[in-house]
Amino acid sequence: MDTLTKEQILDLLLNHHDSLDDLQMLDYIQFLYSRNAKNVVDDNLLKIAKNATKPFGTTLKLPLSSLTAWSMLNVQHYVNEFIEQLKEIDEFITTWRERSDEFLILQHPEMDLIEYFFEQLHPRHHGLLIAKIMDYKVLSIRRLGLLRRLAYRTIKRLNENKNDAAIQYAKDNLALLDHIARPGSFELIRDEAQLTAEKIVKVMQPMLQPPPQQLQIEEIKPPSEIEVLQKQVEELKEIIAPKKSRKKQVEYIDIKDLFDF
């Protein structure tokens, strides 16, 4: 690397990547873009990521380079490219499952890349695509980890923000989980998806209830003098009225009613 310029290294990554092994390509990527680069908007890096992912799942795979390059890119800026790449991976896995009797084996960085796509793409806009990942037997129980992290992210967002955007994000994830838990899905995944949904609903439900209406100060103002006087008059009427009634009854009583003739 010491003898190559940045321009030569970039040319290698863009046009001659077939001559590189995974570790060489990884070193070159990190040399050009720094080891911890994030949210990079660079079409050359996008092309490098695509080059590194072309042999996905094959003996020529470049898993570390592929994962590193994609994780450096700005997802929002390149969201369409992320979708296309995941579609290519999905097609590869689906075709393998249909045509091969052998169990597909992926290296950890390749599985990490699939999980990265699942967690970066929005459930409302790309739910049907990322839900397919739950059918990838090659991921085994790592799929349960994806669902548990989904619950953690959603609940964390609800607790921190408590706004309409956080609630909508939770609803979008609930729709995704409902699709994952559809009839016919793998029982272990279905049960975990339902449990994840219950955890999210438990946190979200109180936020959907309208807050109690607070009593305004003007509603509890003391009664006026006239209102007090009127109340006293009404109380006197209630005391006097029964006495008049009893007196009237005595004046008109029939003596025959007093004896049994």
**Closest by alpha carbon to 178, among 252, 223, 139, 128?**
128
Looking at residue 261, its pLDDT comes to 40
Give Cβ neighbours of residue 67 (< 8 Å, ≥ 6 apart).
109, 110, 112, 113, 116
Query: Is residue 13 included in any domain, yes or no?
Result: yes
Q: For residue 210, what pLDDT is reported?
A: 65
User: Does the predicted TM-score (pTM) go above 0.85?
Assistant: no
Range(s) of the domain holding residue 9: 1-121
One domain, residues 44 and 100 = yes
Encode pLDDT of 56-85 as tens digits: 999 999 999 999 999 999 999 999 999 999
Could you tell me if residue 153 is inside a domain? yes
Instruction: Write down which residue in 121, 152, 179 finishes a domain.
Output: 121
The reply to whether 14 and 109 lie within a common domain is: yes
Identify whether 48 is part of a domain.
Answer: yes
Residue 191 pLDDT > 80, yes or no? yes
Higher-pLDDT residue of 110, 246: 110
What is the chain's mean pLDDT, rounded? 86
pLDDT at 203 over 60: yes
Whether 173 shows a pLDDT value over 50: the answer reads yes
| pLDDT one-digit tens code per residue, 210-252 | 655 654 544 545 666 666 656 665 666 666 655 444 444 444 4
